[in-house]
Structure 1
Amino acid sequence: MSGQMYNLIMASVPSLYSGDQGEFSIPKDRFLEYTEASIKGQFQSLDQDAINKLKNLPTMFAVEDEVADARIGKITDIKVNSNNLRIKYRFDKDYYPLTRGLLKEKQQKLDIDDFEFHRGHWAVKKCDISEFYGEYLKSLAGIAHKLKNTDKKVQLIYAFNGTGKTRLSRAFKELIAPKEDGLGDLDGAEQAPLSRHRILYYNAFTEDLFYWDNDLDADAEPKLKIQPNTFTDWILQEQGQDMNVISTFQRYANDKLTPRFNPQYTAKDKDGKDVTVKAFSEVTFSHQGGDDEPDRKIKISKGEESNFIWSIFYSLLEQVISILNVPEDAGRETDQFNQLQYVFIDDPVSSLDDNHLIELAVDLARLIKSSDFAISGLKFIITTHNPLFYNVLHNEFNRAPKFVLRKLDDGKHDLIEQENDSPFSYHLHLKNELMKAADSGDIHKYHFNFLRNVLEKTSTFLGYEEWGELLPGVKGNRATGQVNPYARVINLYNHAKHAGHEVAEVEEDHKRVFKFLVKEIDNIYKGMRTQQGTQA
């Protein structure tokens, strides 16, 4: 453990946090509790020399049971009375608050005993606070604080699948609207009133609001059910935006595929009793035909379902921006969004082809640009794993800060800001990831997806019709009509269920194929650079 010392003050009440500075009392007999004997001797006299030493130490201020975030700062004055110590403090604004639960998680490193969390006291510990805080900034909670601590309207983040984008959105939501506040969101069945929301976000958990009715008779219609929540109730029932949702969905999916929301009706439950099914709680889908035959209800694909859910969110976002662009609160049609501060959007582009993906990106950028930041102060954070989606938004938001979220080898994370004057060279970023995986031998199924992506981009650049033409031995295989064995391996990990299991084991033979192909790609890139240098 580091020899650096710091103060740990565990207050008994959260009123300590009434501002960035203040004062409070602590019983004198609780001073230096849970402090090593060798340290006590330096401070227990509480003479002026000891007080000056205490004031010079970095101090962590916490509340019993971590019912509030901990803060880092300094003690500015200490008054010694017969029974208590009167302490003046100031929080350091250069340090973000430490998310509640973090001290418990890191208690061994911070030398905090279990019982200390439940007792107001003042201890002096051995730990390098600067080192500890630097590690915190590498956590998703620390990165969430960094994103929050900006005055920019839009922030754009690129990250590979499995890096932690969705967990980052959850950490950010917990920072803006902690569960203890009773604030609802888009991933729970029971929602709090919309007027209490400070963040609106879309991520993988949003889809949990929607589920298929699988308990069907042979001739029953498949239905996508919507769990009770204030968001869809407001946008569909109160605002009547169902037609807008339908048109948005058809624009990104298929203009012949038609969703229909249910009216209120009475049905029988499993016990044969009548139950009322609320309007706009179910959706059926059918292909529009050209004859008089009734539409046959179908179960849509997972990708189409994701597009449908995004269409509801997009329609909600359109309404929210329109409402918040009204300057005066009294002039708005509802006050339910007056406290909204952030919109966090994580990867709304699953299963879209390139044309629809570009269309969605442009539409989203147009909508965000229409939000009047001077009036609403509404901020947007967008994360994606899709390079094309990232690049379109990069060009649309040319002055917005842009980042790459990376997961480090030790499980921590890093948020790297990108240059704003040029698009993100994602193919080179992918190539670097491939080289790193090949060198370390830590190869997962998703790396084959990266490999195919790089081959596709490279083949397009070099003028080939298919990416497989870059693979060794392809001519001989084409002459004999055989499938190239290298292409077969790549496709194995890009199709069906294989691509989804990102951390599943890869066969040793396939790892050797991967390393060989990465080396071949590196040779192709070296050749391209040599050719460009010769031409220059």
Structure 2
Amino acid sequence: MSCQMYNLIMASVPSFYSGDQGEFTIPKDRFLEYTEAAIKGQFQSLDQDAINKLKNLPTMFAVENEVVDARIGKITDIKVNSNNLRIKYRFGKDYHPLTRGLLKEEQQKLDIDDFEFHRGHWAVKKCDISEFYGEYLKSLAGIAHKLKNTDKKVQLIYAFNGTGKTRLSREFKEIIAPKEDGLDDLDGAEQAPLSRHKILYYNAFTEDLFYWDNDLDADSEPKLKIQPNTFTDWIIRDRGQDQNIITNFQRYTNNKLTPQFIEQTKQISENGRRVNISTFPEVKFTYERGTEHTPPIKISKGEESNFVWSVFFTLLEEVMEILKEPDIDKREDDYFNELEYVFIDDPVSSLDDNHLIELAVNLASLIKSSECNIKFVITTHNPLFYNVLSNEFNNKWCKNPETQPRVWNYKPNQCQKYRLNKSIEEKFDLIELGVKTPFSYHLHLLSEIRKAINDNQVKKYHFNFIRNILEKTATFLGHDKWESLLPKVADNSFDSYANRILQLSSHSAHAGEETGEVEENDKVKLEELVNFLSSEYGFLKLEAEGDQ
């Protein structure tokens, strides 16, 4: 029965959160408050038998009003005094913290009353904590805590689009630097000094800092406007890195397409006085024509995404350069002294394969050569980008290769690789992949299709998966067209029915069609294609999630 019960210790202050183990005191008259009478009978004597039972129960350690994350662990010792109970505890190494607000959200399942959140006490409750925690680990908040508590320099995650990568980045940021702490962030307006920053992150919301001024007469002089934030001012004004941003941008676009940062002056209050400072709220883009420049143009969405990434990457390069000085007092700037994490969500946008590979290699080189204790989390939906990063992180790196014996600044075991899956029920699985083996993208797509067939959950996007496999396989085998890999029919021509449904399903005009109903004949044909590809071209079958 003990596995179905747990200790709930609600403290008045978070003082016992100083480490993974410790001790604290709780008033004796608050022991077994909010505990059912039938359960009280097992423990209220506080004799040695009752103490042993309490020590064997999993224990939830929380603080009133959930002002800090709750923890799960064990009571290791109980001393009974006349008025107090002296408790020694240890947090479980296999249990990550529980996000603030989770206990309130799940209070019915955990058998917690409303008033308990506002009073320090010790209760024994009915709930299977192992089952509860297992469910928590299938949430994005639980996965974010797992990432935070993994002692690796790099964590690399692959997930399909729509799985929840961007939401995961937000959950992770909220754990490291909650908004109520007043931290400035790169996806919102200015809130506080950069020196308090603990995390830098790049995701889809980062691009919202940049927007086009579309209220122009005939769009005569388009300009990209920048929301007020301390990051772009710091990297352009304080560090003078505008030319490096331009260089990084032109590397992935066109060496004649040139951003021009427009400087303006604004007034701020400093020590009770109004002072003028420079800021850079606008960017214009022109093409170089010899010594001249064309009138400003509005660049494409893909070029705009690459520009935003170039700003972030230049910022990251400068931060890594500053933080390589171990002596804080000798650093050129103190803005990022508290930086702990960098979270990068899908920087790939509208790049051809060559530039995509170059971006991945540059990013991996920067991370491996960084000489500080910053940890990196990278998520992507692009299999090529993932595999290039995976291969790069499989290689050692040392600062002085000529020095003997070599001192490796980075080793492959400093990178953990995952795949993030999402179920129909909005549950998530973070599956660990092998350290040395890149993600077998085609095998995973085939596995996803087989699962959909077995579960009778085939959607139109599964035909797009097949086409994706055919295109990449055709390129690898040297065929001009992916249709050449289709099965042949009686007259030795390629299966026109298979060709038709792949063409139609992978070129839907509306997003809603991607998940539309699939006819039974098409489902049968899909299964035939999967079996044909597996046998004809030697694709292995994934027997388990981790076999990669």
Letter in 2 for 1:527: E
Letter in 2 for 1:460: T
Give the Cα separation in 1 of the matches to 2:539 and 2:230. 59
Give the Cα separation in 1 of the matches to 2:502 and 2:137. 41
Kindly indicate whether the alpha-carbon contact (under 8 Å) linking 2:458 and 2:518 is maintained by their aligned counterparts in 1: no
Matched, 1:519 2:534: no
**Residues 76, 507 of structure 1: CA spacing in aligned structure 2 closer, same or farther, 3 A cutoff?**
closer
Write out aligned runs for 1:391-470 (5 A).
391-398=387-394, 399=412, 400-444=415-459, 446-470=461-485
Matched, 1:125 2:125: yes
Give the Cα separation in 1 of the matches to 2:524 and 2:178. 45
Give the Cα separation in 1 of the matches to 2:2 and 2:471. 50
Give the Cα separation in 2 of the matches to 1:319 and 1:113. 50
Deviates most, 182-191 or 123-132 = 182-191
Kindly indicate whether the alpha-carbon contact (under 8 Å) linking 2:236 and 2:242 is maintained by their aligned counterparts in 1: yes
Matched, 1:366 2:365: yes
What do residues 295-346 of structure 1 show as CA deviations (whole Å, max 9, x unaligned)? 2322222211111100000100110111111232222111111221221111
Kindly indicate whether the alpha-carbon contact (under 8 Å) linking 2:138 and 2:428 is maintained by their aligned counterparts in 1: yes
Kindly indicate whether the alpha-carbon contact (under 8 Å) linking 1:452 and 1:490 is maintained by their aligned counterparts in 2: no
Give the Cα separation in 1 of the matches to 2:81 and 2:97. 30
Kindly indicate whether the alpha-carbon contact (under 8 Å) linking 1:58 and 1:73 is maintained by their aligned counterparts in 2: yes
1:129 CA displacement: 1.6
1:35 CA displacement: 1.6
Give the Cα separation in 2 of the matches to 1:411 and 1:166. 15
**Residues 35, 427 of structure 1: CA spacing in aligned structure 2 closer, same or farther, 3 A cutoff?**
same
1:127 CA displacement: 1.3
1:6 CA displacement: 0.8
Give the Cα separation in 1 of the matches to 2:486 and 2:168. 37
Give the Cα separation in 2 of the matches to 1:482 and 1:3. 57
Deviates most, 256-265 or 332-341 = 256-265
Give the Cα separation in 1 of the matches to 2:214 and 2:278. 19
Give the Cα separation in 1 of the matches to 2:465 and 2:446. 8
Deviates most, 120-129 or 353-362 = 120-129
Give the Cα separation in 2 of the matches to 1:438 and 1:119. 53
What do residues 201-248 of structure 1 show as CA deviations (whole Å, max 9, x unaligned)? 111111121112223332542221111111111101111111111111
Give the Cα separation in 2 of the matches to 1:483 and 1:519. 9
**Residues 21, 419 of structure 1: CA spacing in aligned structure 2 closer, same or farther, 3 A cutoff?**
closer
Kindly indicate whether the alpha-carbon contact (under 8 Å) linking 2:340 and 2:373 is maintained by their aligned counterparts in 1: yes
- Tell me the secondary structure at the aligned position of residue 61 of structure 2: strand
Give the Cα separation in 2 of the matches to 1:85 and 1:233. 55
1:355 CA displacement: 1.0
For the aligned residue pairs, the C-alpha RMSD in angstroms reads 3.1
- Tell me the secondary structure at the aligned position of residue 337 of structure 1: coil
Letter in 2 for 1:525: S
User: Runs of 5+ in structure 1 lacking a partner?
Assistant: 267-275, 532-536
**Residues 512, 140 of structure 1: CA spacing in aligned structure 2 closer, same or farther, 3 A cutoff?**
farther
Write out aligned runs for 1:102-501 (5 A).
102-264=102-264, 279-289=279-289, 295-372=294-371, 376-398=372-394, 399=412, 400-444=415-459, 446-471=461-486, 485-493=500-508, 498=511
1:512 CA displacement: 5.2
Deviates most, 74-83 or 102-111 = 74-83
**Residues 416, 219 of structure 1: CA spacing in aligned structure 2 closer, same or farther, 3 A cutoff?**
closer
TM-score when normalising by structure 2: 0.85
- Other-structure match for 1:534: none
Give the Cα separation in 2 of the matches to 1:512 and 1:527. 22
- Tell me the secondary structure at the aligned position of residue 99 of structure 2: coil
- Other-structure match for 2:398: none
1:389 CA displacement: 0.6
Give the Cα separation in 1 of the matches to 2:21 and 2:497. 74
- Tell me the secondary structure at the aligned position of residue 280 of structure 1: strand
1:121 CA displacement: 2.0
Give the Cα separation in 1 of the matches to 2:532 and 2:77. 65
Sequence identity, in percent?
70
- Tell me the secondary structure at the aligned position of residue 262 of structure 1: strand
- Tell me the secondary structure at the aligned position of residue 296 of structure 1: coil
Give the Cα separation in 2 of the matches to 1:419 and 1:508. 35
1:154 CA displacement: 1.9
Letter in 1 for 2:385: F
Kindly indicate whether the alpha-carbon contact (under 8 Å) linking 1:216 and 1:222 is maintained by their aligned counterparts in 2: yes
Give the Cα separation in 2 of the matches to 1:2 and 1:288. 75
Give the Cα separation in 2 of the matches to 1:299 and 1:451. 37
Letter in 2 for 1:454: I
1:380 CA displacement: 1.6
Letter in 2 for 1:377: N
Kindly indicate whether the alpha-carbon contact (under 8 Å) linking 1:468 and 1:487 is maintained by their aligned counterparts in 2: no
Kindly indicate whether the alpha-carbon contact (under 8 Å) linking 1:402 and 1:420 is maintained by their aligned counterparts in 2: yes
- Tell me the secondary structure at the aligned position of residue 297 of structure 1: coil
**Residues 443, 122 of structure 1: CA spacing in aligned structure 2 closer, same or farther, 3 A cutoff?**
same
- Tell me the secondary structure at the aligned position of residue 65 of structure 2: helix
Give the Cα separation in 2 of the matches to 1:241 and 1:474. 61
Letter in 2 for 1:226: I
Give the Cα separation in 2 of the matches to 1:483 and 1:143. 40
Give the Cα separation in 1 of the matches to 2:68 and 2:537. 56
TM-score when normalising by structure 1: 0.87
Give the Cα separation in 2 of the matches to 1:179 and 1:491. 41
Letter in 2 for 1:466: K
1:507 CA displacement: 4.3
**Residues 265, 343 of structure 1: CA spacing in aligned structure 2 closer, same or farther, 3 A cutoff?**
closer
1:281 CA displacement: 0.7
1:290 CA displacement: 5.6
- Tell me the secondary structure at the aligned position of residue 537 of structure 2: helix
- Other-structure match for 1:271: none
Give the Cα separation in 2 of the matches to 1:18 and 1:492. 57
Give the Cα separation in 2 of the matches to 1:514 and 1:103. 44
- Other-structure match for 1:272: none
What do residues 421-460 of structure 1 show as CA deviations (whole Å, max 9, x unaligned)? 3332211111111222233343456444433321211222
